[in-house]
Amino acid sequence: MRLPRRPRGPRGRKALAALISTAVAAPVLLSAAPADARTADGPARQHQKAERLARQLERDASAKGAYRHLKALQRIADANGGNRAAGTAGHEASAAYVHRLLKQAGYRVSYQWFDVWQAKTLTEKLSVVSPDARDLQVKAAEFSPSTPKSGLRAALALARVDKDSGCAADDYQGTSFTGRIALVKRGGCTFAEKQKAAAAAGAVGTIIYNNVAGGVAKPSFGSPADGKVPTAGISQADGEALAAAAAKGEVRVALDIQQQHIKRRTPNVIAETRGGDPRHVVALGSHLDSVPEGPGINDNGSGSAGLLEVALKLADRTRRSGQQPTNKVRFAWWSGEELGLLGSEHYVAQLSGAEREKIALYLNFDMIASPNPAQLVYDGDDSDHKGSGPGPKGSAEIEKLINGYLDRKGTPHEGTDFDGRSDYGPFIATGIPAGGTFTGAEGIKSPEQAAKFGGKAGAPYDPNYHAKGDNLSNLDLKAFDTNIDVIAHAVGIYAHDLSSLGGGARG
């Protein structure tokens, strides 16, 4: 979770296509379109069915029920080197666990295999050589080219700092970057685009510093083909200190990155209801893969387990009532998110235009049990006026539905930007309305948020983000339960009634 920003529009779609594996799986088979149940029942009846199912799913689904899935994911990680990363036995076992339970519950379930690359970092070192010698904490970019065996020594050159620092050629004008290492601030575009622009300006390496306090930037390029020059990430504090020193005089650094790149196969798990109108698909997803550094129980075992809990409860309700949802409900557990949203990008790319039009909306749940949580709802209407603009038409209505539910429960919440760092990105890029919730990653909780949500101000939402400590002890179960209720409510409503999307309803 929490990847670099991904641009939307034509440039974003080109980047998306470049990152997607060439191995394209067959699309999920859909049943023949039935008569439209909404027409038969009428709007009032559909709304009643939706509200009733939502209440039932909220009662049935719980953090306690979902916790058993988290325990299973922890056991899988423990048995497979401590992680569940895409392309590893740990992830395949996680996918098999989810697939088995959904199959038993009666869903139409499939694996969707695609290729991913894995990066094994052997060396990652960064030192200031002059004017003041010191070592810095650094993380090699995923799929960075390696430096020469002896490392790379060069002077720093500063890319322009603005809202999209280092993303375009003019961010490298006014200073010679030839033979130097570019120092670039995070944000505004992908890590891959930043180092590509730096390389085009003549830089022999790139150092990207974080745009939030606390934590070292961890760049990722998606595949080895995207890496142009050796690239590494550092913290905001170290980056700003280097920039200040370089503005006064020459700063020379030594960068040493040695990395191996290995191609693997990995599956998405796709499950859909056997009933429901395939012309109106309600899609939900969570990424199932962890980073190699840890078991990923919050990131994103939490979203995966919450989604699985609600999917199983929906199947149970359907079986007991004999009543299929009006709309087809499709659940997805993505692989390769931590490598650059690869699973969701692959899925969206292999859909035909007609199949994309059938998807009424997409809901994303990534990190919903952070131990120092904030209750964040994706800002579909851009009412916060931060970062990216609004989501596609219908996204504002999704945000309104989630906010309205939380308001009725008396649960405080606030917006979070569609910054392109999770699996809603590929759906938004093709015009599918999106939404969902999030409880925070490496960002720092403000005093105002601590007053609103509780917890500790000045500390990360998840201090074990992308680390070995992201295990069963790294959870806030109250936040987990709240967000499972959000999933249950949304599934219940949208399974029968898409009218709240208004003019944003598709299909």
DSSP 339: G
| Secondary element (H or E) of residue 281 | strand 277-287
Among 262, 292, 322, the domain boundary falls at 262
| pLDDT value at residue 220 | 87
Among 262, 285, 307, the domain boundary falls at 262
Q: What is the number of structural domains in the chain?
A: 2
Rg of the chain's alpha carbons, rounded to an integer?
A: 23
| 217 and 178 fall within a common domain | yes
Size of the chain in residues: 507
Which residues in the chain show pLDDT less than 50?
A: 2-34
337: annotated active-site residue: yes
Closest listed residue to residue 190, CA positions, set 198, 181, 179: 198
Residue located via tokens 């180092």: 195
Residues 37-73 pLDDT 10s: 555 678 889 999 999 999 999 999 999 999 999 999 9
State the pTM of this model. Answer: 0.78
Tell me the CA end-to-end span of the chain in Å, nearest whole number. 30
Q: Is residue 35 part of a domain?
A: no
| 198 and 314 fall within a common domain | no
| 387 and 447 fall within a common domain | yes
Q: Is residue 114 part of a domain?
A: no
Residues 65-108 pLDDT 10s: 999 999 999 999 999 999 999 999 999 999 999 999 999 999 99
| pLDDT value at residue 302 | 98
Q: Is residue 54 part of a domain?
A: yes
Axis crossing angle, helix 477-496 with helix 303-321, rounded to the nearest 10: 40
Residue 159's domain is classified under what CATH number? 3.50.30.30
C-alpha span between 266 and 169 (Å, rounded): 36
| 490 and 401 fall within a common domain | yes
Among 241, 262, 283, the domain boundary falls at 262
SS3 of 386, please? coil
Contact criterion met (CB below 8 Å) for 182 and 203: yes
Neighbours of 293 (CB within 10 A): 18
User: How far is C-alpha 220 from the chain's CA centre?
Assistant: 13
Q: Which of 193, 337, 338, 345 is catalytic?
A: 337
Residue 72's domain is classified under what CATH number? 3.40.630.10
Residues 474-483 pLDDT 10s: 999 999 999 9
| 313 and 219 fall within a common domain | no
Closest listed residue to residue 367, CA positions, set 464, 488, 270: 464
Residue located via tokens 């970092």: 121
Instruction: Tell me the two tokens of residue 224.
Output: 């080895």
Residues 244-270 pLDDT 10s: 999 999 999 999 999 999 999 999 999
Q: Where are the alpha helices (DSSP H) in 422-473?
A: 425-429, 447-453
- Average pLDDT, whole number, for the chain? 92
Residues 146-184 pLDDT 10s: 999 999 999 999 999 998 899 999 999 988 999 999 999
| 140 and 288 fall within a common domain | no
Q: Is residue 311 part of a domain?
A: yes
Structural domain that includes position 443: 50-107+273-501
Contact criterion met (CB below 8 Å) for 144 and 227: yes
| 135 and 169 fall within a common domain | yes
| 184 and 247 fall within a common domain | yes
